[in-house]
Structure 1
């Protein structure tokens, strides 16, 4: 009789690595350049956040979404009490928590962000959008910070959150059509729509006009200011983490330029950054880091 093999931590991390490779080629391209132990930790954090996101977006109805999130929250409760669920993501995450000073409250913050999507309400103002983005993406920045930096002071935590918000706003601007078409969600704040004279009906029909472009650029400008702030903080990160972090930042920022290049079509096109552009960004960031080191 063939003996059952015991699960190995390496296989658990491979499972998490496959999740990020499948769902986010940009993040994988950036963070796979980290030292192996740090890269594995990023993969495990990503796998948790993806699991939380899928619990909502892959569910067919409200009841299933609620059940899925409650189940995941119960697993998290057990996990943090020392009863690690027998699943690759949880075993890998347990190893990460043992090796890094991860703030466990951010895991709950991520779930709270997903809960906002269950009973979704269109943001009224930009502050509402930033609050939502802080939950679903700022929390990711906070979770990754101890892996990428030895400085966990308040300013660094705030900066990590802001970078997450910039990336979430980028996601929203890229996925305007998909979010409305597949999930019935409009993340653009009502105040921003009103400011630029663009209606929810126009958004639902995929109308791209000067008002839409002005509205889109308004939010893109907010994201780009946050990217600039994060970039200024790069010297506070571990030397080996600076290139991966700049790659993730700059590749994500380039998504905004892809939308512009495609004449603001966020309705029928899936705007993404090509491998050739990623390689070009990588070479530029390597030069930038070298100039920092030479100062």
Structure 2
């Protein structure tokens, strides 16, 4: 299996250095945008092509990293509306994920906002367990490990514990013994997870997570869902619609955001709804995983896997043969442009949640967001050839992103700024 899951941290930090590899609301709402933009951008691109072919003036709004092309200047209507009608109801995957978000939000709301339910660390075994988690994190995710140093010791150790569990889970189907992993093995891993939450850890790394979930308002469901994502990878290599792919991305990456926010905490200055913060965390996990998928199209294809919505491929006039043969055509560029636009929309939504976290917890999140988003830029720089070229962010660009992420982490919550503007206008 090639597409590495975005085992991100705080709402989602960079995966353990990936080896390979919508929000609920009304059609007109901004939170609904990420799920729709790939199809919309493709249709807008086609409309521009038709316009150029008949001598009409091209659209004055070009597709940039922070726009959705013609859709910025033109309403969703005319020929586009005739081809894709807005869905009448929320997609099943969205609704299922939204229910998990609401459950985690309720748990967080019941806990103190300014301080996590921390118990004093006791015993040499616990100290050794957390130290070992830190060593694993430092070895496999150096940038993330560095960014966690600004967090309080309790939060930092807890995030390390979550990171290590996610890594161990991911390696069940992505590690050296992946060919021997069965559904039964995943069932046993889930049973072991139940024991962790019940206070019966099997080893010292389990003990670190057990201590974490006992002292922070972390729900077990996102952990279970990540294991379900591993099961999905054992039996599924195609995704008919984005709704199916959305659920997969939630399972293997969006879950990490829901695990992490209770540990990272929400700023006492935040005026945002708790649900908004969790949705932002979910969006960052989804964005990171979609970015992994777009980066690794060629590598996945060589393993017989296609992590792209088949109906959208068909709409673009593309087939599986085009992907397996690695054909970079105008249709492929147009299709990829839409997919990248969708991922960027999720990144923008993630920013809404990142600004609301505790200040000492924001740096890892912003580092992940800025670093992963650069991969999309590199795909474009490669002329959308993700068949034979791997979108690689040079080390210098990565280093430059860290101080930018740090400065972003110092900004006051955007909800506080909006609240102040509101009252000043009264």
Q: TM-score, normalised by structure 1?
A: 0.86
Pairs within 5 Å for 1:66-77: 66-77=183-194
Find the counterpart in structure 2 of residue 226 from structure 1: 346
For 1:8, what is the secondary structure of its paired residue?
helix
Q: RCO greater where, 1 or 2, for CA within 8 Å and sep 6 or more?
A: 2
Pairs within 5 Å for 1:121-136: 121-136=237-252
Q: Is the 8 A contact 2:171 2:178 kept in 1?
A: no
**Residue 284 in structure 1 maps to residue 416 in structure 2:** no
**Residue 17 in structure 1 maps to residue 131 in structure 2:** no
> Which stretch has the larger CA shift, 132-141 or 254-263?
254-263
Find the counterpart in structure 2 of residue 3 from structure 1: none
The alpha-carbon deviation at position 22 of structure 1 amounts to 4.4
Q: Is the 8 A contact 2:265 2:358 kept in 1?
A: yes
Find the counterpart in structure 2 of residue 141 from structure 1: 257
- Alpha-carbon distance in structure 2 between the residues aligned to 1:233 and 1:214: 30
The alpha-carbon deviation at position 245 of structure 1 amounts to 1.3
- Give the alignment's Cα RMSD to 1 decimal: 2.6
The alpha-carbon deviation at position 250 of structure 1 amounts to 0.8
- Alpha-carbon distance in structure 2 between the residues aligned to 1:230 and 1:60: 32
- Alpha-carbon distance in structure 2 between the residues aligned to 1:181 and 1:32: 39
Pairs within 5 Å for 1:149-160: 149-150=265-266, 153-160=274-281
Q: Is the 8 A contact 2:197 2:213 kept in 1?
A: no
> Which stretch has the larger CA shift, 74-83 or 136-145?
74-83
Pairs within 5 Å for 1:1-295: 8-58=125-175, 59=177, 61=179, 64-86=181-203, 88-150=204-266, 153-182=274-303, 184-290=304-410, 292=412
The alpha-carbon deviation at position 203 of structure 1 amounts to 1.1
Deviations 1:103-126 (A, max 9, x none): 111110111111111111411111
Q: Is the 8 A contact 1:148 1:238 kept in 2?
A: yes
Q: Is the 8 A contact 2:367 2:402 kept in 1?
A: yes
For 1:85, what is the secondary structure of its paired residue?
coil
The alpha-carbon deviation at position 145 of structure 1 amounts to 0.7
For 1:103, what is the secondary structure of its paired residue?
coil
Give unmatched runs, 5+ long, in structure 2: 1-122, 268-272, 418-426
- Alpha-carbon distance in structure 2 between the residues aligned to 1:274 and 1:242: 23
- Alpha-carbon distance in structure 2 between the residues aligned to 1:28 and 1:272: 21
- Alpha-carbon distance in structure 2 between the residues aligned to 1:290 and 1:22: 27
The alpha-carbon deviation at position 72 of structure 1 amounts to 0.9
- Alpha-carbon distance in structure 1 between the residues aligned to 2:404 and 2:199: 44
In structure 2, relative to structure 1, the CA distance for the partners of 1:237 and 1:11 (3 Å cut) is same
Deviations 1:136-164 (A, max 9, x none): 11111100111222378323222211211
The alpha-carbon deviation at position 168 of structure 1 amounts to 0.9
For 2:387, what is the secondary structure of its paired residue?
coil
Deviations 1:61-88 (A, max 9, x none): 4x633233122112112222222112x3
The alpha-carbon deviation at position 95 of structure 1 amounts to 2.0
- Alpha-carbon distance in structure 2 between the residues aligned to 1:216 and 1:203: 12
- Alpha-carbon distance in structure 2 between the residues aligned to 1:32 and 1:276: 21
The alpha-carbon deviation at position 133 of structure 1 amounts to 1.0
Q: TM-score, normalised by structure 2?
A: 0.61
Deviations 1:45-66 (A, max 9, x none): 12211222211223454x6332
For 1:150, what is the secondary structure of its paired residue?
coil
For 1:236, what is the secondary structure of its paired residue?
coil
